[in-house]
Amino acid sequence: MVRFLAGRVAYAGAVLVAVTSLVFGLIHLSGDPLAGLLPPGSSPEQQAVARHRFGLDRPLAEQYLLFVGRAVRGDFGESWRQQRPAMDAVIERLPATLALTGAAVGLALLVGGALGIATGTRPGGVVDLLASGVAVLGQAVPGFWLGTLLVLAFAVRLRWLPSSGLDGPEALVLPAATLAAYPAATIARLLRTSLAETMAQDYVRTARGKGLSGRTVVRRHGLRPALLPTLAFAGLQVGFLFGGAVVVEEVFAYPGTGRLALQAVADRDLPLVQAFVVVAATLIVGVNLVVDVVARWLDPRLRFAAGQG
């Protein structure tokens, strides 16, 4: 396990370096960084002063080395718009986004897991058909459209929940439901297929022949191996949810890092964009590392294969 963890940490470090370099390159390939910062018609003297102030008059290789050296220390410079450290601005909004992402992950696992187990243990029934239809609908509906409908239904007409902001836990309900719709539907379909295949295996039929109850057979013999592909997908979905929070936060005017990043892109606030992307990449890499560890704990075959390698 120690060897595995050391390898995964080294891999995570390489991924972060690659992401950091890619962000720097894409930002500078997207056009003049000052295009959205200076007012139209700025004189060449004003542009030269701005380029010198932000270090954009230096050779690109020198800018990259300075960027990497500061990024290793968590320093991405000052936000060009907010006039304060970019990392501080991201960290300030991070708890709100983590709360939204955590609520969405929990809701997706709860709803998707319940639907997947209910349909996977009784494939082909009425419940299976209804749940499959709901799952397909959840995958087909765009998040921004679903969020708008939820606001109209539960905030405007029924007035049960707030439509925007973060004034209390109830403000998480609508954005978390919007963000969780797609992964919940996919988890339900994935777990249903995996569990149905597992329940058809010989060792499961043997367990039933021993007189074990259906619930015990599912819990002890069917669910554990069926969870592995679902677990891997859930780990990938954390990145999807963190990225999808950009759109959802804008729909609900939610004060998280996604909305901050969207505004930073509109303003071409490059230090803020870079800080957001690196923080998001770090969280995604960390979550995938945890998923790999849990997968090896659930499936002894993975530990054996790693030991043989």
pLDDT at 121 > cutoff 80: no
Q: Each residue of 85-106: b (16+ CB within 10 Å) or e?
A: bbbebbeebbebbebbbebbbe
* Confidence category of residue 283, pLDDT binned at 50, 70, 90: confident
How distant is the alpha carbon of residue 121 from its chain centre? Answer: 29
pLDDT at 258 > cutoff 50: yes
pLDDT of residue 212: 62
Write the pLDDT tens digit of every residue in 185-231: 888 888 888 777 776 666 666 666 666 665 666 666 566 666 777 77
Which contacts of 213-220 are long-range, i.e. CB under 8 A and separated by 24 or more positions?
214/121, 218/117, 218/121
Write the pLDDT tens digit of every residue in 124-162: 777 777 877 777 788 788 888 888 899 999 989 988 898
| Model pTM score | 0.76
User: Residue 220 has what DSSP assignment?
Assistant: I
Domains with residue ranges and CATH for the chain: 2-72 (no CATH), 92-308 (1.10.3720.10)
Residues 192, 195: Cα–Cα separation, whole Å: 5
For the chain, give the percent of residues with pLDDT over 70.
Answer: 82
- Given a contact cutoff of 8 angstroms between Cβ atoms, the answer to whether 145 and 181 are in contact is no
